Amino acid sequence: MHYYILEKEQQLTAITADHAIYQQYLASGYGFVAKMSAWSEKTALQSFKKQSQHVARSPKVLVSLFFLALGFLYLL
């Protein structure tokens, strides 16, 4: 089943991907964040949070590798 991940005041909410429900949430101030495929609202939020954390860690790893390579070049 598909779920929309919505955000309001930095609070995430998952709702079923029903257009009428989605429009009600938008009218009440929520903003669209993502569309997820999951078994329930809870697993949709968990999947989104894992995905978000993975993306946030990627730049840290790349920067670390860059400085490590720069250090090796300096030693040569």
User: pLDDT, tens digit, for every residue of 41-75?
Assistant: 999 999 888 876 655 556 776 777 788 888 878 77
> Is 2:37 a contact under the CB 8 Å cutoff?
yes
Q: What is the pLDDT of residue 23?
A: 95
pLDDT attached to residue 28:
95
If you average pLDDT over residues 9-32, what whole number do you get? 94
Averaged pLDDT, 7-30: 94
Q: Which residues contact residue 32 at a Cβ distance below 8 angstroms, ignoring those fewer than 6 apart?
A: 4, 5, 6, 26
Residue owning tokens 């809870």 = 42
